[in-house]
Amino acid sequence: MDKESLVALYRQMVLIRVFEDRAAEMYAKAKIAGFLHLYNGQEAVAVGSVSALNPDDDVVVNYRDHGWALARGSSARAVMAELFGRATGTTGGRGGSMHLVDVKNRFWGGYAIVGGHLPLAAGLAAAAQYLKTGRVTLCSMGDGSTNIGTFHAAMNWAKLWNLPIIFMVENNQYAMGTHYDVHSAVPMLQKAAGYNMYAEEVDGMDVMAVREAVCRVAERARKGEGPSFLNVITYRYRGHSMADPDVQRDKAEIAQWKERDPITRFARDVLLKRNLVTPKDLDEIQKSVEQEVEDAIEFADKSPEPSLDTLYDYIYQQPVRNMQIAGSLIRPPTIAKDIPTNGKHN
Amino acid sequence: MAEITYREALRRALREEMQRDPTVVIWGEDVVAYAGGGAYGVTSGLAKEFPGRVRDTPIAEEAIIGVGIGAAMGGMRPVCEIMTVNFTLVAWDQIVNHAAKQSHMFNGQIKVPMVIRTPNGHGRTAATHSQNFDAWFAHVPGLKVVAPSTPYDAKGLLKTSIRDDDPVVFLEHLQLYGTRGEVPDEEYLVPIGVADYKRRGKDVTIVTWGRMTIESLKAARVLAEEGIDIEIVDLRTLRPLDLSLALESVHKTNRVIVVEEGWRTAGLGAEIAASLQEMAFNDLDAPIARVAGLEVPMPYAKNLERATLPFAEDVVAAVHAMMQRQY
């Protein structure tokens, strides 16, 4: 990789880190509601993966999706606006934090039912195979999702049909608050072995290691060698979501992982060591990222809420027939001040 | 015009749409090899006719639906067969949380043009294999739900469903597969969301769909001999629900019976009755009545199964009760 590309990886990781920290702050200020699952600590996984894929490969991830959307090219403005529930967000305020999407980047979304997106990802890969597009699907999931039925159904199907898909476990070792040793009977790679699937273990705190592994398995998929499985060992610095007081994890454990921080490590071991940048350059990157995120917050805050007129949009691709009669199906979004009547005798 | 079975009508629809659009594929359990194609023979012969496009899948309904959704997102038009409606429960998360929500929740960026074909029905198969979830599917915004009663409607609606850009739950019926009816040789489509009169009459309106349309037609013959002339509205689509014909009919007959196969409580009949009385209360000469399945898990024993399900005689009895009652 050339200098610009390496610096770009660094900037993306810093962007995700700063974005998440500011999102937490906005959550505390009640600008963001609901569930907010932050990506701090796992930045190298999304950034390294996306850097290894073609722009038209398919990416499908779980609800811890801000980092993926940003890495895949969604603007900080659109992602922050979505967290704020605004019309300018990635789904116009429909999906919120857990359901970001940006199909122009072939980022097919964050999915919030654990394991629910795995068959969908296999389906995207099946379409790529059937339509001979040459695309590879990257499907990321948490370690907790490797116990649910859809994981096994999708792994079996992908191997059976030799689909061009990468199943990537972002193994942060906790399913919400439950440690891997409590939620899984066998070591992670054994789960892939059960389906005779090519598998590697990857250091998820090293962006270059992630990138190289994804390059290798994407190449396999493109050559028709089928699915693969990456057990990417990583760690999240914050609780499962902003609702998690994070009392169950040992503080010393968290501190230990932070010593292997992917951003600091990449700056120190690659960028500075190879004299690609100076400490002053890194400061400037930090400042420019902080500015970008501040701008995103201002943008989100000033953006309008979605119009009530859009409430029924896209439930179906075309407005359905007889909508005036099926009153329960389509009703103007008046808010309870008058009860709509649609019968001629009322 | 030829008389063919409901099963053959479905097969013709699949064949024609596969000929028309190379992105249409059929995936499901035992749609290729078993008994020549399909547990109930609907896909018989299609795998040979369309190599690589009809594929057997693992018995993993959550994946059959989920892979179908993903393929639809990726530019295909999969027709996913779930062997019986009972097994859709395994895939309920995929149907409700994914198929139905993709388009709206992702603000129109994703569409899911897929068909989920699955039969309702019974046949001495007891509680886990003799159920009807029409109301469950019809409850979900984002799904279209179709339940044809005749070979003509089955063919026309399946072709429309395959061409539709939304996920369609296509409810067939084991007891209808062998029934026969006239189907034109030339191409035609039946639109989704449009009800149909299956019998014109003046005394009582029957609002129904699926197998109960056929039972209601049997009831009509019995009642006609007694001089009672019932009108039968076949909804054909359960979501979006077209009550326009039912409403028109109520204005004429002033009496309505909703006939459904599934459990009565919180059934689709309740929704239909509520909507009709909202829209036509002053036209009603009698409370809207319901004929429905008894609320028990289906027993195996022949007499108990028969007692649990609604048949023509239940429709006849409901009409009698309504006609005899004084208001």
What CATH number matches the domain at B196-324, 3.10.450.50, 3.30.110.30, 3.40.50.170, 3.40.50.920? 3.40.50.920
pLDDT of residue A339: 41
Is residue B182 annotated as a catalytic residue, yes or no?
Answer: no
Model confidence at A321, pLDDT cuts 50, 70, 90, reads: low
Model confidence at A343, pLDDT cuts 50, 70, 90, reads: very low
From the number of C-beta atoms within 10 Å of its C-beta (0-12, 13-18, 19+), residue A133 rates as middle
pLDDT of residue A140: 98
| DSSP track, B246-304 | HHHHHHHH--EEEEEEEESTT-HHHHHHHHHHHHHGGG-SSPPEEEEE-SSPPPSSHHH
Least CB–CB distance from B70: residue in A121, A131, A321: A121
Is residue B61 annotated as a catalytic residue, yes or no?
Answer: yes
CA-closest candidate to residue B109, choices A110, A122, A19: A110
Res A32 pLDDT > 90: yes
Quote ipTM for the complex.
Answer: 0.96
Res A323 pLDDT > 70: no
CA angle B91, B28, B195 (to 5 degrees): 75
CATH of domain A3-306: 3.40.50.970
Is B279 in Cβ contact with A344 (below 8 Å)? yes
**Can you name the CATH fold of B2-183?**
Rossmann fold (3.40.50)
pLDDT of residue A327: 44
- For residues A79-92, one letter each, b for 16 or more C-beta atoms within 10 angstroms of the residue's C-beta and e for the rest, the string is bbbbbbbbebbbbb
Residues 269-328 in A contacting B (C-alpha not used; CB under 8 Å): 313-318, 320-323, 325-328
Domain ranges of chain A: 3-306, 319-346
pLDDT of residue B33: 86
pLDDT of residue B314: 98
H helix and E strand count, chain A = 12, 8
Residues 49-78 in A contacting B (C-alpha not used; CB under 8 Å): 58, 60
pLDDT of residue A336: 41
| CATH 3.40.50.970 in chain B, residue ranges | 2-183
Residues of B in contact with A313 (CB under 8 A): 104, 107-108
Least CB–CB distance from B109: residue in A58, A103, A122: A103
Q: What percent of chain A is predicted at pLDDT more than 70?
A: 92
pLDDT, average across residues A318-323: 66
Residue in B29, B81, B122, B129 annotated catalytic: B129
pLDDT digits (tens, 9 = 90+) for A133-166: 999 999 999 999 999 999 999 999 999 999 999 9
pLDDT, average across residues A235-243: 93
pLDDT of residue A329: 45
Is A130 in Cβ contact with B62 (below 8 Å)? no
pLDDT of residue A326: 45
pLDDT of residue B327: 55
Tens-binned pLDDT, residue by residue, of chain B (327 aa): 899 999 999 999 999 999 999 999 999 999 998 888 889 999 999 999 999 999 999 999 999 999 999 999 999 999 999 999 999 999 999 999 999 999 999 999 999 999 999 999 999 999 999 999 999 999 999 999 999 999 999 999 999 999 999 999 999 999 999 999 999 999 999 999 999 999 999 999 999 999 999 999 999 999 999 999 999 999 999 999 999 999 999 999 999 999 999 999 999 999 999 999 999 999 999 999 999 999 999 999 999 999 999 999 999 999 999 998 755
Is B107 in Cβ contact with A313 (below 8 Å)? yes
Q: What is the mean pLDDT of chain A?
A: 93
pLDDT, average across residues A226-234: 98
Least CB–CB distance from A91: residue in B69, B97, B106: B106
Is B25 in Cβ contact with A315 (below 8 Å)? no
| CATH 3.40.50.920 in chain B, residue ranges | 196-324
pLDDT of residue B36: 80
A103 in contact with B, Cβ within 8 Å = yes
